[in-house]
A and B are shown apart, each in its own frame.
Chain A
Amino acid sequence: MALPSPQPVDPVAGLSIDTRLVRGGTRRSHNRETSEALYLTSGFVYPDAETAEAAFAGPEEGWIYTRFGNPTTAMLEDRLALLEGAPAVRATATGMAAVFAALMASVKAGDRVVASRALFGSCHYVVSRILPRFGVETRLVDPGDLDQWRDALRPGAAAVLFETPSNPMIDLVDIAAVAELGHAAGARVIVDNVFATAIEQRPLAHGADVVVYSATKHIDGQGRCLGGAVLGDARFVVEDLQPFLRHTGPTLSPFNAWVFLKGLETLGLRMERHARSAGRIAGFLAEHPKVLDVRYPRLESHPQHAIARRQMRRGGAMLAVTLAGGKAAAFRFANALRLADISPNLGDAKTLIAHPATTTHANVAPEERARLGISDGTLRLSVGLEDADDLLADMEQALAVC
């Protein structure tokens, strides 16, 4: 948020992304610190009662209370906005807090939401269980099928929600096409850009209205802290989103914000390594006889390869691999890996592997899992920052025993 700074700095106008990630949003105190300060304070003091009155009367004039805004959190927010090319942004306690707030700021009882079926589990719970309890109706569609989007949007809708690439099967949504259908229906188009990151994909440039992140993933990038962000136009953020966040309080700790702020400085480097290693591993697995299928946006065999080329810069860190030997083979493979931890998180420096059918998607009915393309032999791999040759050797030995 554009809150006043003790030392306004805008050294990044016109500069490239990598520079923005290191310098964007920095606000220095009178101590002229090099690295960004961590403001572990809930409140702020005023020189006199008149200033306090003006702070509460004005639109976001001055620092008031960390639930509304905090200098460290604001530095993170500004850096994220510069990276995304978004006019406004608010950080949140988690990615789910970002998704929930973006939706709650867009709908009211009686409204309709149209969402992709291939949603992260908690997003699915929010649109199909929580919102209906408060009079909001949700329609789910297959993400790749534009006819379904068109039909579902025909009666009009208040919001559209999808993620691309999706978790865990790396299905893509044609952002520009769905945004156009969404706008024709009067909907606000919200894109969960967690799997791609802003480095690889800019939904706003393809017509989306709002982008949400789980900063827990690549923005932290080292598995330390939870966080989230919502980015969009200033009217949405200031008028619709900010009152919801300010009063319902899913506030990001300034400590977490500081971790993310420093995480952003290496995001470009990390995504480049993630994507290069993931591409090599995807290629290796696709050739292996024990592998039935590999899903990675930049593999020619991906059914939506053309969309990936159009809207993504590279393929990202995530891939889905389905082994020929079903659940038993998948378990043996995961257990035999020495360099991949079994953990359902993702976007970490450490390579992580998960078996969706028995963990993240265990509560999804088998028919619905099949519809999403998740089989018992499917594993989700979050490729880390270890040396790619070490990772390939590890995969090879693990495949040999499964």
Chain B
Amino acid sequence: MNDISSPPTGKTAAAGRTWRPATQLVRGGMARSGFDETSEALYLTSGFVYPDAASAEAAFANKLQRFVYSRFANPTVANFEERLRLIEGAEAVRATASGMAAVFAALMACVKGGDRVVASRALFGSCQYILGELLPRFGVETTFVDGEDLDQWRDALAPGAACVFFETPSNPGLALVDVQAVCDLAHAAGATVVVDNVFASPLLQKPLELGADVVVYSATKHIDGQGRCLGGAILGTKSFVEDKLQPFLRHTGPALSPFNAWVLLKGLETLPLRMDRHVASAERVARHFEGHPKLAAVRYPFLDSHPQAALARRQMKAGGSIVCFDVADGKDGAFRFLDALAMVDISNNLGDAKSLVTHPATTTHQRLTPEDRARQGIGPGLVRLSVGLEDVEDIIEDVSAALAAV
């Protein structure tokens, strides 16, 4: 039997050249074992063995770089992390069990009791819970602002802050935050800027290049892309990841399963193909239904009618996979539309190969008061459509027929 004691191998770019993103997503971080497998191996192991007691001692004293325990690091998870790091252009990265575990860990690594966070109001529900309910129990206060309004950011940051958090485009309102402008304000206030880049994906928007310090992902969405596994990731500077984040992750344990990491790793290989299709179809759907008599409005970052279209074109390469409709007849109209869809599934997830539709006011954002919903642009007629990989003509036909039933 072959003893796998030879060091991991993998080809790298020729001297003086760097691989383009699509190549990185197929080959980045490859670390083959002594069996010379073509596809990345799945290391379903919690522990690792040592040839002798002195090697174990050296590993725990950090004198020997190697795998110790899968809660700290695992070869399959490390392969996923490295590939994501290369595509994001970050110094360092850590994967987590879910997107929320990534958000929570990034925040916990930035703050302590007595600190202040400034965040945009239009946040994914669980992020709102962490900032609005959980952290205050541990002495951390959050000031919420309307993400589009730079004056509100300026006022809220004037007294200083430990951390700034926002998502752009927002879920589900597709409102944008000017990443560069808010980063400038935040840095002047001494804050670490954490951006939730889930809606844009690593291919359409580069928050780190726009000045952000930390980027978080729900890998559950476009990175898996086929609705199979939960996962998350945090990317930032080496010092943030190694000194602040890693101790929290290592000891509080929101570790990504190597099985999920393997699925997500293979998901990255097709990410550019899928995002191209998502974007082309979403844009087509948005343009096709803009002005439809049953719709009060269609929202999509790259429609000229989007109030922040200029900003979208400045900081995003494309508008993403999500389109929102304001159905004219409110909740009744929205429900009739959802119930009449023959192909598109009613499901609150997004970023899937399958097209999915959600009515945020009665599901994901049900916990909010009607006033808070209105402030985030979530009216009773709002419908969120995650445009999938089906043939776009089939999607358009299904949506058209369902709108006719409204």
A: which residues have CB within 8 A of B? 40-53, 55-57, 64-67, 92-100, 108-109, 122, 125-126, 129-130, 133-136, 216, 220, 223-226, 228, 243-244, 246-253, 255-256, 330-331, 334-335, 341-345, 348, 352, 354-355, 358-360, 362
Q: Are B363 and A52 in contact (CB under 8 A)?
A: yes
A332: nearest residue on chain B (CB-CB)? B53
Flag whether B11 is at the interface (Cβ < 8 A): no
Give the distance in Å from the alpha carbon of A95 to the alpha carbon of B96 in the complex.
15
B1-9, B20-28, B54-62 - the one binding chain A: B54-62
The residue of chain A having its C-beta at the shortest distance from the C-beta of B335 within the complex is A49
Known A-B contacts A48-B346, A334-B53; the reply to A56 vs B363 at CB < 8 A is: yes
Which residues of chain B are near A226, meaning CB under 8 Å?
A: 46, 70-71, 253, 255, 257
B12 at the interface (CB under 8 A from A): no
Pick from A53, A98, A248, A342: contact of B52, CB below 8 A. A342
Least CB distance, A82 to chain B, in whole angstroms? 24
Which residue of A has the minimal Cβ distance to B96? Answer: A249
- How many Å from the CB of B200 to the closest CB on chain A? 19
B285 at the A/B interface (Cβ < 8 Å)? no
Residue B101 interfacial (CB < 8 Å): yes
Nearest CB in chain A to that of B365: its residue: A56
Count of A-B contacts with CB under 8 A?
Answer: 246
Q: Known interface pairs A42-B228, A42-B229, A130-B251. Does A247 touch B46 (Cβ–Cβ under 8 Å)?
A: no
Report the Cα distance A66→B100, complex, angstroms.
12
Is B45 at the interface (CB under 8 A from chain A)? yes
Q: Pull 21 A–B residue pairs with CB atoms less than 8 Å apart, ordered by A.
A: A42-B228, A45-B345, A47-B346, A49-B334, A65-B349, A93-B97, A93-B101, A93-B253, A97-B252, A100-B253, A108-B138, A126-B251, A133-B112, A134-B112, A247-B104, A249-B104, A251-B101, A342-B55, A344-B47, A344-B68, A362-B60
CA distance A247 to B69 in the complex (A): 26
B121 within 8 A of A: no
- Bound form: Cα–Cα A52–B383 in Å: 13
Distance to closest chain B CB from A102 (angstroms)? 12
Query: A247 and B126: CB pair below 8 A?
Result: yes
A225-B257, A331-B52 given; A49·B230 CB < 8 A? no
* Proximity bits, B107-150, A CB within 8 Å = 1, else 0: 01000110000000000001001100010011110000000000
Interchain nearest-CB distance for B335 vs A (Å): 4
Among A41, A126, A247, A253, the residue within 8 A (CB) of B129 is A247
Q: Which residues of chain A come closer than 8 Å to B140, judged between CB atoms? A: 134
Docked complex Cα distance between A362 and B58 (Å): 10
- Judge whether A358 and B104 touch: CB under 8 Å: no
Is the C-beta of B243 less than 8 angstroms from some C-beta in chain A? no
Whether B229 contacts A253 by the Cβ 8 Å rule is yes
Known: A52-B348, A223-B46. A250 touches B97 (CB 8 A): yes
B residues adjacent to A (C-beta < 8 A): 44-57, 59-61, 68-71, 96-104, 108, 112-113, 126, 129-130, 134, 137-140, 220, 224, 227-230, 232, 247-248, 250-257, 259-260, 334-335, 338-339, 345-349, 352, 356, 358-359, 362-364, 366
Contact B260 A122 (CB under 8 A): no
Are A216's CB and B46's CB within 8 A? yes
Known: A125-B251, A248-B254. 20 other contacts (CB 8 A): A42-B227, A43-B227, A49-B334, A49-B362, A50-B335, A53-B359, A53-B366, A57-B366, A93-B254, A93-B255, A95-B253, A97-B97, A108-B138, A122-B251, A226-B70, A247-B130, A251-B97, A253-B229, A342-B55, A358-B56
Q: Inside 8 A of B113's CB, which chain A residues have their CB? A: 109, 133-135
Docked Cα-Cα span, A330 to B139, in Å, equals 47
Q: Which residues of A contact B101 (CB under 8 A)?
A: 93, 248-251
Q: How far is the CB of A146 from chain B (nearest CB, A)?
A: 29
Chain A residues positioned under 8 Å from B251 (CB to CB)? 96, 100, 122, 125-126, 129-130
CB distance from B403 to the nearest CB of A (A): 14
CB distance from B199 to the nearest CB of A (A): 16
Tell me which of A53, A67, A129, A256 contacts B363 (CB under 8 A).
Answer: A53
CB < 8 Å neighbour of A43 from B138, B247, B348: B348
Q: Contacts A48-B338, A94-B71, A344-B47 given: A256-B112 contact, CB under 8 Å?
A: no
Residues of B within 8 A of A223 (CB): 45-47
Known: A42-B229, A122-B250. A93 touches B359 (CB 8 A): no
Find out whether the CB atom of A43 lies under 8 angstroms from the CB atom of B52.
no
Question: Among A100, A136, A352, A358, which residue has its beta carbon within 8 angstroms of that of B47?
Answer: A352
CA gap between A160 and B269 in the complex, in Å: 47
**CB nearest neighbor in B for A345:** B47
Contacts of B60 in A (CB 8 A): 344, 358-360, 362
B253 CB to closest chain A CB (Å) equals 3
Tell me whether B53 and A92 are in contact (CB under 8 A): no
What 6 A-B pairs are tightest by C-beta distance, nearest first? Answer: A249-B100, A96-B253, A345-B47, A43-B349, A94-B253, A249-B98
**If A46-B347, A247-B134 touch, does A355 touch B53 (CB 8 Å cutoff)?**
yes
Name A131's closest neighbour in chain B (CB-CB): B138
Closest to A134 in B: B138
- B residues in contact with A252, CB < 8 Å: 97, 257
Instruction: Please measure, in the bound complex, the distance between the C-alpha atom of A243 and the C-alpha atom of B100, giving whole angstroms.
Output: 12
Q: How far is the CA of A330 from the CA of B224 in the complex (A)?
A: 46
Contacts of B104 on A, CB cut-off 8 Å?
Answer: 247-249
* Assembly CA distance A11 to B52 (angstroms): 49
Residue in B57, B137, B260, B345 whose beta carbon sits within 8 Å of that of A255 in the complex: B260
A228 CA / B257 CA spacing, docked (Å): 12
